[in-house]
Amino acid sequence: MTVLATVRGWSSRGRLGLLIGVTVAGFVAAALCPPYPQDPAYHDFADRRALAHIPNALNVLSNVGFLGAGAWAFVRTARASLAGWERVAGVVFASGLVFTGLGSAWYHWAPSNATLVWDRLPLSALFPTVFAVAIGDRVSPAAGRWLLAPLVLGAVASVVYWQRHDDLRLYGLAQFLPMVLVPLMLMLFPGRRPTAPLITGVVVYALGKVAELGDRPIFALGSIVSGHTVKHLLAAAAAVFILRWLTAESR
């Protein structure tokens, strides 16, 4: 019997305890790490080409994907058959996409810590929204409903903390802990929504993060497009898949 099969055989309380244990471990790890300031080199992107007086043009213009995904998210959320709090989550997700597109475009127009905060503030709301809906779908609808606002506000507060103290620990925790817990919930608990769109969205987003890390090597392949531009496009595509999951009718 595999480890996963063994854990699935645990009581619901035991599986919930595992999720809580991973969450506590994440907070402990963040607390034990030294403060992590923003690296100034982060703003040194490979593609600085201008187009029609737009600096860093492709990194600016590629944010249109977020605007398009956000507009579609508003329409799909309005048409979907959702519980009241899930509809609120859909509106938060759609708003986060639109404002991420605007904030990221503003940041890439003139990259600096001062403009980066407007990129990260709306982006920070996306992950906890998905996390709350996943909790509602896999663990408890009541828990998802009550955790939606605290999770979103906590993630936004992590950006404010970074901006004031130049310490990325809480922001990193808010972004990456849900990326561990959501797959765990998918494996451990049955759900009402089909999982394929969410899994696809997570995989596409992960590919975007890989492209972001390969910003310069990708740009070096003919100087056509940089890894960061590819990351924007893949992240917007990932949001479309995730939204299909978020607004899917329960089975």
Assigned domain for 43 exists: no
What's residue 10's pLDDT? 79
Assigned domain for 29 exists: yes
Assigned domain for 41 exists: no
Assigned domain for 130 exists: yes
What's residue 12's pLDDT? 82
Task: Identify the bridge partners of residue 54 per DSSP, sorted by sequence position.
Answer: 51
CATH number at residue 78: 1.20.1070
Assigned domain for 44 exists: no
**DSSP track, 177-211:** HHHHHHHHHHHHS--SS-SHHHHHHHHHHHHHHHH
What's residue 249's pLDDT? 64
| pTM of this structure | 0.92
**DSSP track, 118-160:** HHHHHHHTHHHHHHHHHHHHHT-HHHHHHHHHHHHHHHHHHHH
What's residue 61's pLDDT? 98
3-class secondary structure, 221: coil
pLDDT tens across the length of the chain (251 residues): 476 666 667 788 888 999 999 999 999 999 999 999 999 999 999 999 999 999 999 999 999 999 999 999 999 999 998 989 999 999 999 999 999 999 999 999 999 999 999 999 999 999 899 999 999 999 999 999 999 999 999 999 999 999 999 999 999 999 889 888 998 999 889 888 889 999 999 999 999 999 999 999 999 999 999 999 999 999 999 999 999 999 986 54
246 with 90: CB under 8 angstroms? yes
Q: Which residues, including other chains, have CB under 8 Å from residue 204's CB and lie 6 or more apart?
A: 234, 237, 238, 241
Assigned domain for 30 exists: yes
- Count of domains for the chain: 1
Assigned domain for 237 exists: yes
Residue 112: which domain range?
A: 3-36+51-246
Assigned domain for 45 exists: no
